[in-house]
Amino acid sequence: MSAPQDLPEPAGETTGQVADAVRGNWVDRLAPAVARPYLRLSRADRPIGTWLLLIPCWWGVALAAAEDGWRLSDIWIWLGCALGALLMRGAGCTWNDITDRDFDASVARTRSRPIPSGQVTVRQAVIWMFAQMALAGLVLLTFHPLAVVLGVSSLGLVAIYPFAKRFTWWPQLFLGLAFNWGAVLAYAAHSGRVTWAAALLYAAGIAWTLFYDTIYAHQDKDDDVLIGVKSTARLFGAATGRWLGRFLVAAVGLMTLAVLVALLPVAGPLKLGVALAAPWAMGWHLLWQMNRIDIDDPETCLRLFRTNRDTGLLAALFLAAAAFL
């Protein structure tokens, strides 16, 4: 795959940085110039999305292991989900940038992305997207056959998501449906089945996504009005705080139910207590975010959005610990 030549990057300089990328990220500092536009397409310079796709996978395998114990194969599920999340988040972001290239050119925060800024052509982006999907498919094929079927079935959600903001005020719901599918997939990769506990865990993740992506969407609400893009940030407006509270309660309540359904029949008090600490630790962190939100300050919204890596990892830590008891 040849590198785009219209924006050369002289040795020792970094051009083409994306506006909302983490400052001093490894892509801008260390990646070869030829690879930077493609890594930016994959959001490798903005790793929070990979974490948010990966963490529900870790929830799923940890909850399944808490039911019947860790297995040696879970090491690969844990690592394979990390690799798959990296690749599929990259493919999904590439698809998003292909479909949104005209919108992105009209929004201050996104016009520096590789396609609207001219670093990558649409054809190059399509090739890059399929390359990432192919590698992710190879990882998926190493999992239980049910997990493979679930992984393939998620592609429809991934394909639809970029268009959701064109026809619904709830595009964050579509993101939640796509981003948390890994909870069910990883649960099935361990256990070879899908249970009500897995479904409840998936629903908890969707509520969590509605929480954090509503915060994220407040960065672009003024531009979204101008270009006609819908979002929960625009829908809720000044009532955002009340809605975030509802999503918090839903996320904590649904994960609590998932733990109870999975572990009440099989777990002792210690294991059950540690597992139940997962949703409540997550809820505490979400409440901490709510107490600091300023929906009219884009920098605060972005900073709080990024802290959701820690929100999700807190829950994953307690679920994993319960599996060892």
Task: Give the chain's domains with CATH numbers.
Answer: 36-323 (1.10.357.140)
Residue 234 pLDDT more than 60? yes
Amino acid 15: pLDDT? 65
Query: Where do we find the tokens 């829950």?
Result: 315
Mean pLDDT of 256-269: 95
Lowest-confidence region among 11-15, 230-234, 310-314: 11-15
Q: Compute the residue count for the chain.
A: 325
- CB neighbours of 84 closer than 8 A, spacing ≥ 6? 57, 136, 139, 140, 151, 182
Amino acid 3: pLDDT? 37
pLDDT-based confidence at residue 12 (cuts at 50, 70, 90): very low
Q: Give dist(CA 235, CA 76) in Å, integer.
A: 41
The CA dihedral of 100, 236, 299, 24, to the nearest 10 degrees, is -40
Q: Give dist(CA 227, CA 127) in Å, integer.
A: 28
Amino acid 210: pLDDT? 98
Amino acid 273: pLDDT? 97
Share of the chain above pLDDT 70, in %: 95
Amino acid 17: pLDDT? 83
Q: Give dist(CA 304, CA 286) in Å, integer.
A: 10
pTM over 0.85: yes
Distance (Å) of CA 321 to CA 216, 263, 316: 30, 14, 8
Amino acid 181: pLDDT? 97
Mean pLDDT of 40-53: 93
Q: Give dist(CA 23, CA 45) in Å, integer.
A: 9
**Closest C-alpha among 172, 251, 168 to residue 207:** 251
Per-chain mean pLDDT for the chain = 91
